Amino acid sequence: MAKNFLSQLTGSFAMPAAENPTVAMVEAAYKHHGLDWRYINCEVLPKDLGDAVKGARAMGWAGFNCSLPHKVAVIEHLDGLGASAEVIGAVNCAVRRDGKFIGENTDGKGFLQSLLEVIDPNGKKAVIFGAGGAARACAVEMALAGLTHLTVVNRNPERGKVLVDLINSKTPAIAELVVWNHNVTVPTDTAIVVNATSIGLYPDIDARLNLDMASIMPPMVVADIIPNPPRTLFIRDSEARGCRVIDGLGMLVNQGVIGIKYWTGVDVDARVMRQTVEDIFKS
């Protein structure tokens, strides 16, 4: 039998890209399941994003991830959007279907899956820091899962208002904006607190959110979407105050499992992927 030397290609477009462990995690899953697929981690400047997507088309890629800062900008370079990506207004996973790149959003689904392992957002109130692509995804999925009230804390009021209006118009939840120009206090009736900003992301691992940590207390559940480092200062500070915490690895792994299913049709073992990234950070 002739050997097929043409692997299926997937990858990621981000800026920066070097600290993103997704490539190791996804390739570990491909290898574990005997898939002749590759995942190529690419650093792409915003001005070059359109060319990168054209290149993926030309090379027959099965799909790609988009990370910061491309999750919203990539939409204009795609052929259509899946249902959740259309509501969220951001894409982190493009999938080739019938020769077209369709944008999906697996961030929010991956985050929700991690959240449900600790707390059900149904009937709860949440505070989310940030209003970018990842924040939109997490906020929309929580709202669609029954969250009653969401406070969006963001430095840019225009961007924050876009997310608030999205939640109020497209989901059953009620959202309000707090402009992040001061030391924010989290309301005592908050059940879930989410950092959906890049504050604390490697290499700026000593950065802290501008909030009153005295207002973070049990039984609040605190989540950080940053995967590198997995135990951010925010996670450690919240844990020290007795809160249950959710690190960014859960969201990273879960959205990866969903993305690989979109590309390959295979349900991969999430444990293999999590173990891979855990081993990377231990070393």
- Is 125 designated active site? no
Per-residue pLDDT of the chain (283 residues; tens, 9 = 90+): 568 899 999 999 999 999 888 999 999 999 999 999 999 999 999 999 999 999 999 999 999 999 889 999 999 999 999 988 999 988 999 999 999 999 999 999 999 999 999 999 999 999 999 998 889 999 999 999 999 999 999 999 999 999 999 999 999 999 999 999 999 999 999 999 999 999 999 889 999 999 999 999 999 999 999 988 889 999 999 999 999 999 999 999 999 999 999 999 999 999 999 999 999 988 7
Cβ atoms of residues 110 and 254 within 8 Å? yes
Superfamily covering domain 108-246: NAD(P)-binding Rossmann-like Domain (3.40.50.720)
Location of each CATH 3.40.50.10860 domain in the chain: 8-105+250-282
Q: 282: burial class by Cβ within 10 Å (0-12, 13-18, 19+)?
A: exposed
Check the CA dihedral 131-93-193-183 and report its sign.
Answer: negative
Cβ atoms of residues 186 and 127 within 8 Å? yes
User: Annotated catalytic residue: which of 3, 31, 54, 71?
Assistant: 71
CA atoms in the 13 A half-sphere facing the CB of 30:
21
Distance CA 50, CA 38 (A): 22
Location of each CATH 3.40.50.720 domain in the chain: 108-246
**β-pairing verdict for 100-104 and 80-81:** parallel
Backbone angles phi, psi at 117, to 5 degrees: -70, -15
Q: Does domain 8-105+250-282 have CATH number 2.40.50.220?
A: no
